[in-house]
Amino acid sequence: MLGLTKRDFGLMVVVAILALAAPFILNPFPQGSAMAQFNAGYPDLMQRLVIFGILAIGFNILFGLTGYLSFGHAAFLGVGSYAAIWMMKLLTMNVIPAIIVSVLVAGLFSLVVGWISLRRSGIYFSILTLAFAQMSYALAYSVLTPITGGETGLQPKTSDPRILDGALPAGQSPSANLFGFNMSDTSVLRLGDWSFNFNTGYYLAAVIMLIVFYLSIRIFRSPFGMMLRAVKSNQQRMNYTGLNSKPYTLAAFVISGMYAGLAGGLLVAMDTQVGAERMFWTASGEIVLMTILGGAGTLIGPVLGAGFIKYMENIVSKINKTVLEQWFAFLPDGIEDLLITLVYPFVGKGWHLTLGLLFMLVVIFLPGGLVEGGQRIGKLFRRKKTDTTTKTPPAE
């Protein structure tokens, strides 16, 4: 169905179920319980999970298929964000024009950057993309302050022209909407001690994520995707056959940049404030971590990696000494203090340490990322099942 194989269609269905049922899946613990700390089903985090999933899917088309490692993809995220916020300031607060323009502007910018950077390969390509990202950050932070707002950033104001929108009622501030449906609108379903949030902005981002995930599957399985794999396998041998790899790598770079621009436009749709920090080199490094951690070159791996890192950033980082004291309160004082001393450096502000250690373990023992870990577990269970079914009965 939809031009997909049975296996790919099954994967698409699984991703759709996970995305649409996220308010239930991410809130497994009742409110007020000690484990409610690990619930992630609130709108802001759910939006970031799918938006950064889109960003990682796009980066995976470049890095996972062609092997070209870009350290400057945050530049396209930032350019897309600035394009979206200016559409909201000049045209309308409806998010659709902002999202479309963010994709187009990021695509044009990535075409220029890619045309220059792809003249080199390997580490030289990576350094060129990093240089472009840092130049973009510096320009947004200082020289282009009238356009970008500098260190204070940009956000919609009541005084903005917004050609397609009517005048706002007195005292009302502009807010992003989808044909009248406010992006921040949230319905809460309470079932006993459980609370589930259904947010308009999240479901818009989730539907878009499913669309771009489907497109990435089609790219992976297409002849174009096979050419990109050939570039990754042996670009020099491919050139010897008479095939010019440059148009394919440039196309992959532009598509990846457009995915990043889409993610930037969605970030503005969910939170109508843009700053230059989205273009900083650490943001580009985070995209690389997401893709490698989940599994570069796999379909669902980047989504898993993005979700894992954003979960760590928003949940593990909130665990402080007070929370640890509540967890270990049943223990004797000496053991309680010892456990808090041992655990505290890895949570709260030290969540980066935990992420770094996990990333090292994945790179060393699971080069294929979280997807490889899941595959190994699946093979282990299948092997046990095969062993039990093929066990020969004793002779009579």
Q: How far is CA 111 from CA 58, 86, 248, 258, 271, in A?
A: 15, 21, 12, 10, 27
180-237 pLDDT, tens digit per residue, is 889 989 999 998 889 899 999 999 999 999 999 999 999 999 999 999 999 998 888 8
User: Which pTM was predicted?
Assistant: 0.92
Q: Locate the domains of the chain by residue range.
A: 6-281
281-294 pLDDT, tens digit per residue, is 889 999 999 999 99
| Helices within the chain (DSSP H only) | 6-20, 22-25, 43-66, 74-90, 95-117, 122-138, 145-148, 200-221, 223-240, 246-270, 281-294, 301-314, 321-327, 333-343, 351-365, 369-389
- The fold of the 6-281 domain, in CATH, is ABC transporter involved in vitamin B12 uptake, BtuC (1.10.3470)
352-367 pLDDT, tens digit per residue, is 899 889 889 888 888 8
Integer Cα distance of 301 and 297 in angstroms: 8
Contact 251, 224 (CB under 8 A): yes
Q: Count the Cβ atoms, other than its own, within 10 Å of residue 199.
A: 24
